């Protein structure tokens, strides 16, 4: 189902932007897995808005309530974990003008045609970026499990609106915001410490899984691993990473054009991918749309409160998506080993 | 499971490069669906090697035998379709030197660690590009179903080794081959005629599904939709495609930076994606690797018969992967409609 | 995942008996499906305890809170439905003596070995019969959809503790309760109005699906369809139901030994199955168990509040399980039809 | 998909009775798993017909050809196993009279309505009992893996046509055959040596999984675990199996009314279930049916070659289904353990 991700570590996201709540149910964590709620909250805080003048003025406390699955010692009991975040500070009225006028770059038009008049449009409904909060809960818990295995997931911004100098990121965002416009960017995510041999062949490869998860983050329009699109311009002799002896009998590569993945499986080198995030489609500048009742072109000015750039808030989402995909593959790896029951 | 793709239109690939056979079982085609085997063969021929001096000298007839699922009138009976391709002209001896020396850029090293000494390494085993033949069978049948719905899938090469002039593609490949080297390239795939509202939110979106399928094609290292990575450098006002009235009450967009997909769902505009294919890792030039028995660096020269550039043969694979993903989403769309049983 | 059921109409149950809450997320309802919360509550009330001196004294209001997925008009918006029931009136202390002494007939022993010391044991944790409340929410909603299609699901008690006279059911239960003992029973469920051709071959048949759902109700130890175990004693000529012309060009059978299902698919005759419910394992009578700390036999007297017979409360659960399984198969049937997108 | 069973040990059956072939693809066996093809053939021979005058005269060699997945040492390589059985000795003409006249007790009628005129009806198409051969291949391989873990699966006939004396089984079958009739029976399957804690809560329990698999065997109309339907007539004090100390610190039960499963999980006691097999619906005696072209009642005499009792051949099928379900749960158990990658 489209709201779920994963085979063995599986989470199901529910809720809409202006419904009573959003949340997530997480299955497959082995009983006894530690979950540190304070660390999780700190992770969620990286996604939360309202930290700076650069993000939406909507106040989202994003403090999840735990409903099930965790014992008093902070370890999973074997039942699914469910977390709930109440929606508050909603201003559904802001969206009334958008009921029949789809916003360019948004899911509005296909959602109208797909779900009909019963679709929940205020705040973007189930397509709201707010649904990345439950993704970060599931992924944040996966990150905690990976760290126990010595695996660390770390994403960072490579560029904002084409600007690659981190010191000028804020300036670039403010410039766009000042014009009632928005900017996107590129995020790079690196996973350190993943042992080799994780991932499955063909459609269960790490690239397939991570891509499936990452495209679940709204606004992502591309993903590449290792050298990615640049590899398409290289010769084999330049692109292939030679194998060299590593510490303790391991084998490593010189260079990492393969991004830590060959044949869908980890090689033991850092897993590296980059994702392209398009500019926030909700902008204050006037745009052209069509009123679906009349079929006529209408000017559209989007009110409401929107981030001029969601890239900074998408950084932990990228880590969450990658961690969930990897941890799922690690659980799957366990059951492919011969042994006792 | 990693050898399967799809929820409702689901196919499962089996076989290894030098096993007795490879093949595919395809489930979920409605009974009565027409399958034209001659058209399918013509599609498979586009993937087959041996057409020009540019591809591997291994002769792969790639003529599938139909085992089940199709009636005498060429329509499905409701049972799964299974196709078989016998492997022949295998020269497993070519691979003996590679048993303990992983080839750079190949799945060898993680496969050694993942599957142990029982892994099937000759010809690349289950990681062989040969396994794209059954993918093309499943996808080729999906293409036929899509065409009945007025949907057309078409891929083409955008660049080879960085060269963007189609008239110089062959020259670029021959130059690399002449040096015992290889080149990759970029393929663009466009789907025309897809109605709006196909695809599911979040992890079941068209981007997620197509990406999961496309990364099942060996050597793919990146995928982008619409403006893709370029979108990350644009402002929202430039990236958003304005809505305009289309023919017969439809709504279209000016421009197609969104690549025909918003919120994971089709908009009615052409679906456009590009995939980066890395250069063939098997090259004649000497490379460095490590003998896993001794842990020492060894020089590696790969014999056998290999394509200096697999991009031309990957074109129909891209169409197959995209078609399978889209047709699966279309079947899922059908059951989301209210109505009678 | 074990907490989920269904392919297209899919629900995921969460919570434990003494966790903050239990609940369910329901995916796959077509947008615009009507859900009548008052009718749903009336259905849940049939499962709720506390109606008579015969059921547990634990007060479970069982009034679910809707968190997402339903619009103000009472129709689904296309996003998952999530319902929450807060746990209250828990007396976890009742269970402390049971931490190391598994109750005969309960999941305690395998749960200890499966989930270890972090398992949540008070109230039976995730194995509590209380988890049938969310099952009834999902199934109750499926029942509402089936009724719109003219399909009616109805279960009734066939016997209690071997007694087949409904007028003596209460007496039988009271007699067992008076002795600190418990009784089970047999429930028969009939589905009227299901059109023919629903269900899939082999492992996706209606029998397979209904059985998988029904064994999710605690205490069920057997299921049979149509003549069931009696069919094993019949001759083919007696067991086969002859086909006869029905109204409006339909075909019906004389007799219904096949229970409305042949080859896993509905025939158009009433679907009939019976399930065996074992007696409540929690009884006041002293039993023998083993203290897992010492490995020694200990006498066990179970305190707490328990139903002397859960059969009456299991009746709506049976309807819920059957309806969910059937509605899922109906959605799957829709996407097996040729047609437009 | 309905032709597939299992989550981690997953097999997909293909083929129809009179198609070129039937077969199965098996995924999820850890690389290095031994598969003894001679032992497998001996297992399949138990299902094969033609051993005695009691079974169909159709000669089915049932010698599968291995297409992929197994190395020269008889150990799996990590790729899926595919087996093929060519269909031969088909007499499709026998079935022409049945094209428009559904056979009572068969899948014919719902298949006509479900798959339309393209359904493959000769020999029962995909609903043929012949499809239990690939089930036995998958299950036979699961049995071999279980035996390596000290787990043994053993089924036997409890009754034939109501007759419980094994010495009179053959006589009972011959008597029915002599009258152009058929008989069914009850099969009991016991799994010895399964460690405790296998199986998942709720819908992933061993009972749910085994039932889902067993109802995939044509003609099964009921299943019960442990005391089964008899439990519904017992009191709790009689039905509960007291815990007692077992060897080496284990805990066992006195009696086994629970059939080795509590809360969906194994307890360490033998897993015991019984399945009801209805009499073969194809009988020589004249029956009444309806010609779907005219809607009128017609007499039906079924020619062709049919077993008067399929119960003996269903015995290994029962073992196969149970073993596949259990082995799948064992693989799932492995990934629920905390530990390293």
Tokens encoding B134:
């059954």
Structural domains of chain C, count: 1
Distance CA D219, CA D272 (A): 20
Tens of pLDDT, residues C111-125: 999 999 899 988 889
Q: Which residues of B touch D126 (CB under 8 A)?
A: 77-79
Distance CA D99, CA A133 (A): 57
| pLDDT given for residue D95 in this prediction | 76
Residue with the two structure tokens 């399957």: D189
SS (H, E, C) A8-44: CCEEEEEECCCCCEEEEEEECCCCCCECCHHHHHHHH
Which chains sit next to B, with 3 or more Cβ pairs under 8 A?
A, C, D
> How far apart are the two ends of chain A, measured CA to CA in Å?
30
Distance CA C182, CA C284 (A): 9
| pLDDT given for residue C338 in this prediction | 64
Distance CA B162, CA B327 (A): 32
Distance CA B102, CA A3 (A): 39
Q: How many CB atoms lie within 10 A of CB D278?
A: 32
**Residue D252 · residue D241 · CB < 8 Å:** no
| pLDDT given for residue D66 in this prediction | 97
**Residue D23 · residue D37 · CB < 8 Å:** no
Q: How many CA atoms lie within 13 A of C249 on its CB side?
A: 4
Q: How many CB atoms lie within 10 A of CB A296?
A: 9
**How confident is the prediction along chain C (341 residues), in pLDDT tens digits per residue?**
799 999 999 999 999 999 999 999 999 999 999 999 999 999 999 998 765 555 655 565 688 999 999 999 999 999 999 999 999 866 777 777 788 999 999 999 999 999 998 999 888 899 999 999 999 999 999 999 999 999 999 999 999 999 999 999 999 999 999 999 999 999 999 999 999 999 999 999 999 999 999 999 999 999 999 999 999 999 999 999 999 999 999 999 999 999 999 999 999 999 999 999 999 999 999 999 999 999 999 999 987 668 899 999 999 999 999 999 999 999 999 887 766 66
Contact across the interface for C69 and A14, Cβ inside 8 Å: yes
Q: Which residues of D touch C234 (CB under 8 A)?
A: 161, 183-184, 278-279
Residue C54's domain comprises 4-338
Q: What percent of chain D has pLDDT over 90?
A: 86
Least Cα separation, residue C121 to chain A (angstroms): 9
| pLDDT given for residue B50 in this prediction | 65
* Residue D261 β-bridge partners: D266
Q: Which residues of B touch A285 (CB under 8 A)?
A: 236-237
- Mean pLDDT, rounded, for B264-284: 97
Least Cα separation, residue B245 to chain A (angstroms): 6
Tens of pLDDT, residues D35-76: 999 999 999 999 988 655 556 555 656 889 999 999 999 999
Q: Are strands D220-225 and D271-277 parallel, antiparallel or unpaired?
A: antiparallel
Does A301 contact chain D (CB < 8 Å)?
no
Distance CA A105, CA B236 (A): 8
Question: Which run of H or of E encompasses D321?
Answer: helix D311-334
Highest mean pLDDT among A120-129, B271-280, C113-122: B271-280
Mutate to test the interface with C, among B263, B329, B338 (most CBs of C within 10 A): B338
Q: How many CB atoms lie within 10 A of CB C256?
A: 17
Q: What is the ipTM of this complex?
A: 0.96
Look at residues D126, D132, D95 and name the one whose alpha carbon lies nearest to residue D304.
D95
Tokens encoding D50:
């033609």
**Residue C183 · residue D236 · CB < 8 Å:** yes
Does A118 contact chain C (CB < 8 Å)?
yes
Least Cα separation, residue D305 to chain B (angstroms): 22
Tens of pLDDT, residues D106-158: 999 999 999 998 999 888 899 999 999 999 999 999 999 999 999 999 999 99
Instruction: Look over chain A and give the mean of its residue pLDDT values, rounded to a whole number.
Output: 93
- Length of chain B in residues, anyone? 341
**Residue B136 · residue B317 · CB < 8 Å:** yes
Count H helices and E strands in chain D, helices first: 7, 15
- Mean pLDDT, rounded, for B289-305: 91
Residue B199 has pLDDT above 90, yes or no: yes
Tens of pLDDT, residues B104-151: 999 999 999 999 989 998 888 999 999 999 999 999 999 999 999 999
Helix, strand, coil percentages in chain C from 3-state DSSP, rounded to 5 = 35, 25, 40
Q: For residue C16, give the nearest of A25, A79, A119 by CB distance.
A: A79
Instruction: Provide the 3-class DSSP secondary structure of residue D335.
Output: coil
Does B77 contact chain C (CB < 8 Å)?
no
Q: Which residues of C touch D181 (CB under 8 A)?
A: 235-237
DSSP assignment string, C280-297: PS--SS-EEEEETTTTEE
Q: What angle do CA D33, D37, D38 make, to 5 degrees?
A: 135
Does A87 contact chain B (CB < 8 Å)?
no
**Residue C16 · residue C127 · CB < 8 Å:** no
Look at residues C264, C186, C188 and name the one whose alpha carbon lies nearest to residue C221.
C186
Burial class (CB in 10 A: 0-12, 13-18, 19+), C247: exposed
Q: For residue A335, give the nearest of D79, D335, D341 by CB distance.
A: D335
Distance CA D200, CA D8 (A): 13
**Residue A266 · residue A198 · CB < 8 Å:** yes
Look at residues D246, D216, D228 and name the one whose alpha carbon lies nearest to residue D3.
D216
pLDDT interval class at A49 (50, 70, 90): confident
Burial class (CB in 10 A: 0-12, 13-18, 19+), C299: exposed
Q: What percent of chain A has pLDDT over 70?
A: 94
Instruction: Look over chain B and give the mean of its residue pLDDT values, rounded to a whole number.
Output: 93
CB interface of C with B, residues 197-216, below 8 Å: 198, 201
Look at residues B301, B277, B291 and name the one whose alpha carbon lies nearest to residue B181.
B301
Does D23 contact chain B (CB < 8 Å)?
yes
Residue with the two structure tokens 């071959």: C201
Q: What angle do CA C49, D230, D203 make, to 5 degrees?
A: 55
Q: Which residues of D touch C283 (CB under 8 A)?
A: 236-237, 240
Distance CA D297, CA D288 (A): 7
Q: CB within 8 A of D146, min separation 6: which ones?
A: D152, D153, D323, D326, D327, D330
Does B244 contact chain C (CB < 8 Å)?
no
- Mean pLDDT, rounded, for B165-176: 97
Tens of pLDDT, residues A128-150: 999 999 999 999 999 999 999 99
Q: For residue A118, give the nearest of C12, C71, C82 by CB distance.
A: C71
Compare A162 and C90 and report the one with higher pLDDT: A162
Tens of pLDDT, residues C10-55: 999 999 999 999 999 999 999 999 999 999 999 999 998 765 555 6
Residue D5 has pLDDT above 70, yes or no: yes
| pLDDT given for residue D337 in this prediction | 73
Helix, strand, coil percentages in chain D from 3-state DSSP, rounded to 5 = 35, 25, 40
DSSP assignment string, A59-114: -----PEEEESB-TTSBB-SSPEEEEEE--S--GGGGGGGSSSPPTTSSHHHHHHH
pLDDT interval class at D335 (50, 70, 90): confident
Look at residues A286, A277, A292, A289 and name the one whose alpha carbon lies nearest to residue A119.
A292
Distance CA B59, CA D97 (A): 47
Least Cα separation, residue C173 to chain D (angstroms): 10
Tens of pLDDT, residues A244-276: 999 999 999 999 999 999 999 999 999 999 999
- Length of chain A in residues, anyone? 341
Residue A74 has pLDDT above 90, yes or no: yes
Cα four-point dihedral sign A100, A102, A108, A113: positive
Question: Which run of H or of E encompasses B86?
Answer: strand B81-86
Tokens encoding C276:
């065996």
Residue A26 has pLDDT above 90, yes or no: yes
Residue A161 has pLDDT above 60, yes or no: yes
Nearest CA in chain C to A118: C77
**Residue C260 · residue C290 · CB < 8 Å:** no
- Length of chain C in residues, anyone? 341
Nearest CA in chain C to B27: C336
Distance CA D271, CA D274 (A): 10
Instruction: Tell me the backbone φ, ψ of residue C63, rounded to 5 degrees.
Output: -105, 105
Q: What is the CATH number of the domain that holds C119?
A: 3.60.150.10
- Mean pLDDT, rounded, for B233-238: 98
Mutate to test the interface with C, among D228, D232, D249 (most CBs of C within 10 A): D232
| pLDDT given for residue C186 in this prediction | 98
Residue B178 has pLDDT above 60, yes or no: yes
Instruction: Look over chain C and give the mean of its residue pLDDT values, rounded to a whole number.
Output: 93
Tokens encoding C42:
């009336």
> How far apart are the two ends of chain C, measured CA to CA in Å?
30
Range scoring the smallest mean pLDDT among A324-333, B41-50, D226-235: B41-50
Nearest CA in chain D to A337: D30
* Residue C244 β-bridge partners: C252
């Amino acid at each position: 189902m489209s709201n779920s991700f994963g085979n063995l570590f599986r989470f199901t996201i529910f809720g809409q932007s202006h419904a009573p709540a959003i949340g997530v149910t997480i299955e497959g964590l082995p009983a006894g897995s530690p979950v540190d709620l304070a660390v999780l909250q700190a992770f969620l805080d990286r996604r939360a808005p309202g930290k700076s003048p650069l993000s939406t003025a909507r106040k989202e406390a994003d403090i999840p309530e735990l409903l099930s699955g965790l014992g008093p010692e902070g370890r999973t009991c074997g039942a699914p974990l469910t977390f709930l975040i109440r929606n508050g500070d909603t201003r559904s009225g802001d969206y009334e003008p958008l009921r029949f006028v789809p916003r360019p770059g948004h899911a509005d038009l296909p959602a109208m045609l797909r779900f009909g008049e019963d679709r929940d449009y205020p705040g973007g409904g189930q397509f709201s970026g707010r649904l990345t909060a439950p993704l970060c809960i599931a992924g944040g818990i996966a990150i905690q499990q990976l760290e126990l295995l010595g695996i660390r997931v770390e994403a960072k911004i490579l560029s904002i609106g084409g600007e690659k100098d981190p010191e000028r990121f804020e300036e670039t965002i403010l410039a766009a915001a000042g014009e009632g416009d928005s900017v996107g960017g590129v995020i790079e995510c690196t996973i350190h410490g993943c042992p080799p041999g994780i991932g499955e062949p063909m459609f269960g490869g790490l690239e397939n899984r991570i891509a499936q998860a990452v495209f679940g983050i709204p606004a992502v329009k591309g993903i590449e691993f290792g050298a990615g699109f640049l590899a398409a311009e290289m010769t084999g002799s330049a692109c292939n990473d030679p194998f060299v002896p590593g510490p303790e009998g391991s084998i490593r590569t010189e260079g990492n054009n393969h991004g830590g993945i060959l044949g869908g499986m980890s090689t033991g080198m850092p897993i590296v991918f980059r994702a392209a995030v398009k500019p926030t489609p909700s902008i204050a500048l006037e745009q052209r749309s069509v009123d679906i009742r009349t079929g006529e072109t209408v000017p559209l000015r989007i009110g409401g409160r929107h981030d001029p750039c969601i890239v900074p808030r998408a950084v932990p989402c990228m880590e969450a998506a990658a961690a969930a995909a990897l941890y799922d593959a690690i659980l799957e790896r366990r059951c492919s080993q011969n042994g006792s029951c």
